[in-house]
Structure 1
Amino acid sequence: METIGEGTFSVVKRALWYHPSGVKLDVAVKILRDISPSLIEDLQVEASHLLKLQHSNLIRMYGIVQQPAMMVFELCEGGELLNRLRDTSKPPPLVTTLLDYCLQIVKALTFLESKHFVHRDVAARNILLSKDEKASSIVHYYDVVGSCYGIRLKSHSLDEKLPCEGDCGLTGFHQAM
């Protein structure tokens, strides 16, 4: 399998998934490293919520595997928006394209809010593009391990720290209270 991304707690590989319906899909498989059994249980609960979140601008989660711990997602072949913005081998995206990306991101975040979920790390590195770069999607999970995983967020003032002990640069959807 081709590696398409790597982080501290996981590696993401391109794979071919055979759907029970017989359809073959190119997918992104996030293989989690050194994950505790209790975190696997938490992951299953969180995944059950994520599997219900269906929106054209959210990366679709197809499922999880317990051993080895893996998460299977829709593949976005255009890569990260951040890399596209830094790519000097291509002309910069048109302002109209960037505005369209913003609109798509707002639609995704509005949908999440309507379902009482919050994305905790909206950043260009977590926005993935379709192969033709016309559509953008927000990543469901970037890294889901650490002390911030599974925290239910409350309303906080802008200058108040989030209630976690470790690195809060982790991305995930957390149901708001």
Structure 2
Amino acid sequence: MLAYGTVFLCSSLITLGTGNVHTPNMVLVFAMFYGGIMQTLVGMWSLFLGVVFSTYGGFNFTYGALYLPRIGLAQAYSVNGVVTEEFTHAIGIFLAICWITFLFCIGSLRTTFSVVFTLGSTVCALCCLSASCFTGNAHLNTAGGALGIVATFGAYYGGLSGLYSGECTFKAIRLPPLVLSYSNA
């Protein structure tokens, strides 16, 4: 959850133009090494728990690869060194594959609130970002970046609530595990 949140936080801050940074290459470091490698390893180690970590590890690797010059994706969609609208639409298609996150969100309804909140916010963020790629609407891009930060808070809360549990920390810094309750009625 922490790796997931950190990649999304970095990407969202750059999407929002924080610090006047607009070149997304910084996301490459987080997406490849922290999000990609760490989530893939966690996914392999906890395969019996499900596939969400491995899936997002793979997503982060592919997202990072978009910005690797040797892969040549941006170059393939460029004319005379200028990226075309086709590249923006291709990124929109890549982000539109958020339906898998929607399926994970539905599957997570029996887990904790922080996981459902994180995945639900992620679906909304990816939908806004994808729509922005197709329409060029800056408001959708801003909404996607803001929703990405919201999803980050859910991911951080979910990751830290396990770390700051009664078995691991002092009483002064515990976070309550927001668990959804179900009735058998």
Q: Which has the higher helix share?
A: 2
Give the TM-score normalised by the residue count of structure 2. 0.28
Give the TM-score normalised by the residue count of structure 1. 0.29
Specify the structure having the higher radius of gyration (Cα). 2
